[in-house]
Amino acid sequence: MDTTSFQRLPQSIQQVVLDGLDNEVQAGLEKLDTAKKNGSLTSEQTAALEGDIRRAAELRNRFSPA
């Protein structure tokens, strides 16, 4: 994925995006942890949530400064 367009954004905007992705990953991990303790998700829902967390983390890593 080419991130040059992202890198040209003002630093403050880049930080907002990175913070948002960090928050999304953290919230997903917390939801996953709670759901596993309660047993409130099906295996399909758990897999979907894990996929969402993984994709947000991967995107966050692509946008991180080198």
What is the pLDDT, as a whole number, of residue 17?
95
Number of domains the chain is built from:
1
pLDDT digits (tens, 9 = 90+) for 10-57: 999 999 999 999 999 999 999 999 998 999 889 999 999 999 999 999
Whole-prediction pTM:
0.83
Residue 3 pLDDT class (50, 70, 90 cuts)? confident
Examine residue 48 and state whether it is found in any structural domain, yes or no: yes
Residue 65 pLDDT class (50, 70, 90 cuts)? low
Examine residue 34 and state whether it is found in any structural domain, yes or no: yes
Q: At 39, phi and psi to the nearest 5? A: 65, 35
- For 30, the domain range is 10-63
Q: Which residues contact residue 12 at a Cβ distance below 8 angstroms, ignoring those fewer than 6 apart?
A: none
Handedness of CA 6, 12, 16, 22 (dihedral sign): positive
